[in-house]
Chain A
Amino acid sequence: MQRFSAWSLLKQAFGSHGGWQPQWRRATPKPAYDAIVVGGGGHGLGTAYYLAAEHGLRNIALLEKSWIGGGNTGRNTTILRSNYLFDESARLYDHSLKMWRDLSQVLNYNVMYSPRGVLMLAHSVHDVQVLKRHIHANRCNGVDNEWLSPAEAKAFCPPLNIERNIRYPVMGGALQRRGGTARHDAVAWGYARAADALGVDIIENCEVTGIRRDAGGAIQGVETSLGYIASRKVGVVAAGNSSVVMGMAGVRLPLESFPLQALVSEPVKPVMPCVVMSNSIHAYVSQSDKGELVIGAGTDAYTSYTQRGALHVNMHTLAAICELFPAFRRMRMLRNWGGIVDVSPDRSPIIAKTAVPGLYVNCGWGTGGFKATPGSAHLFAWTMAHDEPHPINAPFTIERFREGLLIDEAAAAAVAH
């Protein structure tokens, strides 16, 4: 791997940047691997990297049906935060948020982690109570989160409209200063490059079409569009397609796949200093380093695998944005798109071994898993390597739905992202 540094940039500049090598090899599948990761999003690529970097596995394949990072990883609005209500979630998401801090150094790849603060708005007495409850619960768990009055919110985010004469006036907000954004593609590419350097075969355009099990039921390998590949350890990290891939091994999941849309504006000079989210009126906005406003909507109503949704869902979000940020009314939107998110009944993920020996699954991240990419990958690699969950992800099983041990972030906040 060519390391990036000021010195290497300078050296390449003298050669007109003709000396850069591809960031990862174009691998072709070997007949067998010690471990296979299905799905080349950030969570899958990270899993392959930590399997190699922390657990000493070398003979690893990552199979991606199209191009890496082309799923939800490359389609999301990149909001990072860890101020979830329950102890289990706080531990999981904060583990991840802490990993973002030095991820660029670890991977020698700039993932552009920017802790610019995530401000969640309250518009009703109920919102105020819910957010304050979160703040107190977070503080008990050592997770920073603080209450801002409308005037303090305005001081933190000047374009915000705190007038009382709008349909849903701002009654305050919860601010997590360590929250922020990161560059989605860089996360996928950084993990891919670092995993490749440790010998992981990253195989794009390779769709898993079947999962083979032996007479005892254990995993033998996977059928793919590039032929059969044997492995006794298979980890599935397929986001919106988790039900489909796990169905190939006869495992049913408590998931439904919904379209989730986002859009960006034309680029402008810096105007939004932080991330603002409003769960009640469904608007999320931040500004990318390129200058585009990055805006996220709610999910469409129905299950789908089309990676697109309806325009009225975006219009609903834009109406809210225009009230909260009157200055944005005249901005033009450039692009919109959708991803397919795997939503679990309690809006918490599953990071677990399954009843099938050798088969592991990491799914159910729904509308909010980008923030968890490093932590999720780190814990899933641990789970695959040890054949048992790490204490942090131990509560995030499939069996919790049978045992009634839900981690009900859905009921707690009804939030997305």
Chain B
Amino acid sequence: MLLIHCPYCGDRPELEFSYGGQAHIARPSKPESVTADQWVEFLYLRSNPRGVHAERWRHVRGCARYFNALRDTRTDRFIATYKAGEAPPQQSGSTP
């Protein structure tokens, strides 16, 4: 089980969280002028990297807030967690 650092509450076990998928995907602001390709991009295409992934988590059984995390999908190690709305922290090199 992962130990996840909620930016509001601190380290908590994975059981308290729900996963929210890839982070920083903005819903198109003018849906009426979005092309089919842009809808595909928004709805279905995901980066799914073997490496560092920016993703959303929700501390649903704690403060109930959404936040973002950088996690390495090769090891499941968290690199950082940060509040929604903030830019992802800079990473110094890649640490597998």
List A residues at the B interface (Cβ < 8 Å): 241, 243-244, 252-257, 301-306, 310-312, 345, 401-403
Contacts and interface: CB of A to CB of B under 8 A. Distances in A.
A301 B46 contact: no
Given A244-B50, A311-B1, A402-B37, A302 B19 contact: yes
Contacts of A303: 48, 53, 55, 73
B43 interface: yes
B47 to A, nearest CB: 8
B11 interface: no
Contact of B73 (A252, A255, A306): A306
B44 A254 contact: yes
The 4 closest A-B pairs by CB, nearest first: A254-B44, A301-B19, A243-B48, A310-B1
B79 to A, nearest CB: 14
B44 A306 contact: no
A292 to B, nearest CB: 25
Contact of B71 (A256, A302, A312): A302
A254 B45 contact: yes
A306 B48 contact: no
Given A305-B73, A345-B44, A402 B36 contact: yes
B45 A306 contact: no
Contacts of A256: 21, 46, 48
Nearest to B77: A306
B80 to A, nearest CB: 16
B13 to A, nearest CB: 9
Contact of A401 (B2, B44, B48, B53): B44
A401 B40 contact: yes
Interface string B12-45: 0011001101000000000000001101100111
